Structure 1
Amino acid sequence: MFDLDALAHHRRAHVLLEAVAGSRAYGTANADSDEDVRGVFAVPAHAYLALAAPPNQVADERNNVVYYSLRRTIELLAAANPNILELVYLPDDCVRVCTPQMHALIAARASFVTRECAASHVGYAFSQIKKARGQNKWINQPQPRQAPAKEAFCHVIPARADGAPMRPRALADLGWNLAEFHAARLEHAREMFRLYHYGDAARGVFRNETLALESIPEADETARYAGLLIFREQAWRQACDDHRNYWTWRAERNEARWRQQECGEIDYDAKNLMHTVRLLLSGRSILERGEPIVRFAGDALETLLDIRAGRYAYKDVMELAQGIAADCETLKATADLPERCDVARADRLLLDLTNAWETRCA
């Protein structure tokens, strides 16, 4: 039953929590926001004794809908995962399904709030900062529709009879068609090959997406030798990966998110930086009040919305983020929180909740 369709079919029995998360939970949603659904499902304890263990989570292709197993949920809570901690602090108006077992987990949520949680919020936030600057985003590195051609990564050192210096030239500059050539291995050299011209009789250098190497007859070694081919294969493969990743991103991205960058209005990923500050504010709340912030309001919400709208310069957002991080460092000294989660207590909770769910379903 462990895929999304099967879980939906058995929803009444297995789903412990179903809720709207993401921007709609944070209070930052706008007309272009996706709806993110998060949930928790239970499986019988004996399922973990099978050779094919049940999955940790089931999700749709874009991860807009994700359900975590109860075991994985408690495991991630114990590991101070910010995304999972917010599931047990969601506002009531976000919750669609919440069983007695999930209510029991929510009642125990304070036991998962630790100094480690605050540290993980800050750590997650600054990992987002590294991704936020526009120059490193695909938005400023557009890819053509056509995949990279191997020939674009080829240079040739033509054979010269006059003894002039032999310098690599781009294949395109020479105007040579590699379909008219054969290639042979050049001993003791990587990505470099001997090149022989056979004209219409050639089978080509590239065949079935690979560079084909030939054994050249001795009589052709001099008569048909044209020069040395340099094929930067690893660079071509990396370019193909970049091209594929770019167009996957283009197909799946939320177009509204990228309009400001495409128009040159801002030079950073505004949504990433908004979430950076959101995580930092929530981390500070853990140290100040003993719980994270999920639903934002007032000045904090206005700040987040202004960041997403591009009303801050990049350096100003960085100063704000550094200031909140400094607050967190100061608060660590006085926060009345355990260092980390009591794993033995989390284990007992998992067992108790699983037993209670199995009793209910019996």
Structure 2
Amino acid sequence: MNWLAQATILKVLWGSRAFGTSDADSDVDVRGICIPPRRYLIGLSHFEQSEDRTNDTVIYSLSKFVNLAMANNPNMLDLLWTRDEDILFIDEYGVELRNHRDLFLSQQVARTYAGYAESQIQRMETHYRWLHEPPSHQPTPEEFGAEPHQRGGVRFPNTHQERAFRAANKHWQNYQKWRAERNPERSALEERHGYDTKHALHLLRLYRMGIEILREGFVHVYRPDAKWLLQVKEGLFTYPELCVLIDDLKAELTAAEATTSLPPVPDRVKIEELLVSLHWNAMQSGRA
């Protein structure tokens, strides 16, 4: 796509380098937004995003970005509130979009940030169990009551037992895949601290950011608590202490949602007007 660079309206550092939690070995992740050529806006051609895995770069179409940001997707909101020092490129269309970023915030952040944090919790808990109580063997059908069938294969006594076997076998396969593909950095953290402290860093960051947004109406991408988060990664809390902290943050997020001044949902009409205006102006100027 030789048009992509010219069509880009915003490009920022993303991930740990934008959060202030990076180290010397951290990837340099980049995210951006573009207004694609007019054939993608009003013609039959379709474009949502471009991924450059070699350079850890993803560029979203403005339309896709707006829809995800309107749903209060945490990864998208980061692009709008990245601090100025971490903006790699921005033009007048990107400035206009960021000038209207408050339109996107709503009470939905309580659900989306908690949801992203919960996915980190689930992975962390699964890995914790695998570290401390790993499955000893691959499950067999016989352990779930299956008997040889006269036509070959096996027959389970009921559907429940068959499903239980399939779930146990899937768990075993996931465990083997995790063992074979463990990230060396994550593996070292787990061995040192007894759980994946990088997952802990991310989930605590997500809860804290969600609480801040609900209370302040602002997304602090570059973390004022970066030093504390890095201490979390280095094992500041035992696993039981972390679980208590998570419960406290869940309660704090619920309380912040109950008292927030943010609207229940973003103003779809105003956001659509912004999107149409940006697209129209880009086409009128020959940019798209």
Distance 1:260 1:117 in 2: 30
Change (3 A) 1:29 1:50: same
Measured after TM superposition, the shift of residue 102 of structure 1 is 0.8
- Please identify, of 76-85 and 113-122, the stretch whose mean Cα deviation from structure 2 is larger: 113-122
Confirm or deny: 8 A CA contact 1:266 1:310 kept in the other structure. Answer: yes
Give the number of the structure whose residues are more often helix, by fraction: 2
Measured after TM superposition, the shift of residue 119 of structure 1 is 2.8
Measured after TM superposition, the shift of residue 57 of structure 1 is 1.6
Q: 3-state SS of the aligned residue for 2:254?
A: helix
Distance 1:45 1:287 in 2: 37
2:198 counterpart residue number: 271
Q: 3-state SS of the aligned residue for 2:60?
A: strand
Q: 3-state SS of the aligned residue for 2:109?
A: helix
Confirm or deny: 8 A CA contact 2:10 2:94 kept in the other structure. Answer: yes
Distance 1:310 1:70 in 2: 40
Which amino acid in the other structure matches residue 15 of structure 1? T
Change (3 A) 1:40 1:91: same
Are 2:270 and 1:345 equivalent residues in the alignment?
A: yes
Normalized against structure 1, the TM-score is what? 0.65
Distance 1:248 1:43 in 2: 40
Normalized against structure 2, the TM-score is what? 0.81
Measured after TM superposition, the shift of residue 96 of structure 1 is 0.8
2:235 counterpart residue number: 310
Q: C-alpha offsets along residues 21-80 of structure 1, whole Å, 9 cap, x if unaligned?
A: 1000101001221111111111135425555522x2221348932111110110011111
Change (3 A) 1:10 1:240: farther
Match of 2:249 among 310, 314, 324: 324
1:161 counterpart residue number: none
- Please identify, of 241-250 and 275-284, the stretch whose mean Cα deviation from structure 2 is larger: 241-250
Distance 1:100 1:137 in 2: 50
Q: C-alpha offsets along residues 71-109 of structure 1, whole Å, 9 cap, x if unaligned?
A: 011001111111100100001111111111111010000
Distance 2:118 2:214 in 1: 18
Measured after TM superposition, the shift of residue 136 of structure 1 is 4.6
- Structure whose alpha-carbon radius of gyration is higher: 1
Confirm or deny: 8 A CA contact 2:110 2:254 kept in the other structure. Answer: no
Confirm or deny: 8 A CA contact 2:13 2:28 kept in the other structure. Answer: yes
Measured after TM superposition, the shift of residue 334 of structure 1 is 2.5
Are 2:222 and 1:295 equivalent residues in the alignment?
A: yes
Give the number of the structure whose residues are more often strand, by fraction: 1
Which amino acid in the other structure matches residue 257 of structure 1? R
Are 2:24 and 1:31 equivalent residues in the alignment?
A: yes
Confirm or deny: 8 A CA contact 1:125 1:280 kept in the other structure. Answer: yes
1:257 counterpart residue number: 186
Which amino acid in the other structure matches residue 73 of structure 2? N
Distance 1:321 1:352 in 2: 42
Q: C-alpha offsets along residues 129-151 of structure 1, whole Å, 9 cap, x if unaligned?
A: 11112335689869xxxxx9xxx
Q: 3-state SS of the aligned residue for 2:258?
A: coil
| Count of paired positions | 270
Q: 3-state SS of the aligned residue for 1:96?
A: strand
Confirm or deny: 8 A CA contact 1:138 1:246 kept in the other structure. Answer: no
Are 2:40 and 1:111 equivalent residues in the alignment?
A: no
Measured after TM superposition, the shift of residue 295 of structure 1 is 0.6
Distance 2:54 2:179 in 1: 15
Change (3 A) 1:97 1:316: same
Which amino acid in the other structure matches residue 260 of structure 1? L
Confirm or deny: 8 A CA contact 2:128 2:196 kept in the other structure. Answer: no
Confirm or deny: 8 A CA contact 2:107 2:257 kept in the other structure. Answer: yes
Which amino acid in the other structure matches residue 18 of structure 1? K
Q: Which runs of 5+ in 1 are unaligned?
A: 1-5, 143-147, 156-167, 169-184, 193-233
Instruction: Please show how residues 1-362 of structure 1 align to structure 2 within 5 Å.
Output: 6=1, 9-54=2-47, 56-61=48-53, 64-133=56-125, 134-136=127-129, 186-187=150-151, 190-191=153-154, 242=174, 245-246=177-178, 249-250=181-182, 253=183, 255-261=184-190, 263=191, 265-297=192-224, 300-358=225-283, 359-361=285-287
Which amino acid in the other structure matches residue 99 of structure 1? D
Q: Which runs of 5+ in 2 are unaligned?
A: 156-165
Which amino acid in the other structure matches residue 106 of structure 1? R
Change (3 A) 1:319 1:135: closer
Confirm or deny: 8 A CA contact 1:38 1:66 kept in the other structure. Answer: yes
